[in-house]
Structure 1
Amino acid sequence: MTARCGVSPPPAAWGRAQTIAQQALTGAVFAKVGYSTHYHTDWVVPYWSSSLDKVAEVNTHLFFRWTGWWGTPAAFRRGYAGSEPVFAKMAALSPFHAGGEVALAGVVDPAAMLDPDTIPESAVPKPVAAGGDSFHVALDKAMGADGFAALAIRTCGERAYCKFLGWTDRAKVPAVGAALTPAQIEAMSFSYLRDKEQGFGKALWNCGEFKRPSPIQCMRRTPVAAAAPAPAPSATPGGPDGLSGVRRKSDPAPVVPPATN
């Protein structure tokens, strides 16, 4: 739903649209259409409809899903990444589209978020590389989870592109010049990415460490895989039990007696 010709949608309709969108982004599914990914009305026949599996008919709408594995529940296990483009024409309807920093303020508690301008210059961390746009930061829990967002904004300053990564466990902060390890990524407490060229500004929290009001504010966790145990040696040299009647490559060739007349 967008505003056209200077006419905004009624508040009730806009609120309903926002509620439905929020439900969809947090995993709500209308049971009758299930895992449908496509639909069309019954008075048209798109070129793609015959290549998909038809799931349901709801009034005048026909619903379809991908064939094969991509149409199964397993294909829908990934969460919403939270990345959305910013459209200036939508600013009057949603503060998210008023700009990257306003969008960020919309996902934190305004009462809990510090004013970025109150953070002193001495508290602003240095970039990973001199003059760079990436920051690896040890965070103070006393600042509060929403305060991390203010620190990120203050740190990024006027940079068009900025990547701010933070850890409350100081021991997990990567050494200068070192690449991030899987364990450090898993232990990350907060991240902020800004890309003004793409109209993007997004803050994410480790929701195992900080409770957030919406799952779209949570980092997707990828557990660090444990090293696979070494296979136990076979009880029988040269192969497993039960193969004593099979000649192995390492065995000597059998002696064949000479033929007799």
Structure 2
Amino acid sequence: PKERFTPLHGTGTAGMNFLRNRLAVLGLVLLATLLLYLLLPAIRQGSMEPSLDVQKMGLPGATPAPAAPNITVRSERLPGDPPLHFRVALPADAGGTRPQGRLQVVLLHGQSFTSKNWLDLGTLTLLATNGYQAVALDLPGFGSSPDSDAIKTDQNRADLLLRFLDSLGLKAPVVVSPSMSGRYSLPFLMLHSSRIKGFVPIAPVDTKSHTAEQYQSIQTPTLIVYGEQDNGLGAQSLKSLRQLPHHSVVQLAGARHACYLDRPKEFHQALLDFLSKLE
């Protein structure tokens, strides 16, 4: 016998209720499926993509940052006339010993700054993390180093840096010299260039005080750094410093006189690149 088909309009009250329940369940299932379909890409995107902060840093979100080595930053004082305060950052292996063979870096500072700026900027820690011994000096009359009547001439200032390097056992460091510190670094460079492995002048003062012949006699590798918007000392010092035979130039885009503060990431990268070429 053939299967009988009963039209819907012929069903009773119980049949209609059953049909409504079936349709309601089907509707809920369809709604849940639709919501899951819409939400699934967002859930997957949120779990797989790096956070906004990580993206801005240019680091892959799935890869944790490598553990930093043990870094020691100390404040010390060198006796003398005048006594000199300085900060030193030392890299260390797991046993707490200093690695051998990497460069030493001496950080000077400008008129409005002290050694603390290199600490706050992260330069001391960055250099130590990369295996360098970094020393930031408070020049006489700045920070915790008192002024002295014994520091009046170019020879006095060169002698002071020589005493500092000798006392700390810094045989041939790289000297980073912004702005006012050129009063110390440039006389030292002219008198003791063999004691400097590399020179990083950052728009230093007093570049006009030295002759073309003096500059051309210096064989020290030099990285000249200045800010694009520094139309004063930056542009002026560049004209003189370009007479150094072994120089390269880095202009930090949009940066002012203290360009390393305006563009710390770019400055740090340029410094590390320069150091790597000296090793």
Could you say which TM-score interval applies, normalised by the shorter chain? under 0.3
Which structure has the larger Rg over C-alpha atoms?
2
Q: Taking structure 2 as the reference length, what is the TM-score of the superposition?
A: 0.20
Q: Taking structure 1 as the reference length, what is the TM-score of the superposition?
A: 0.21
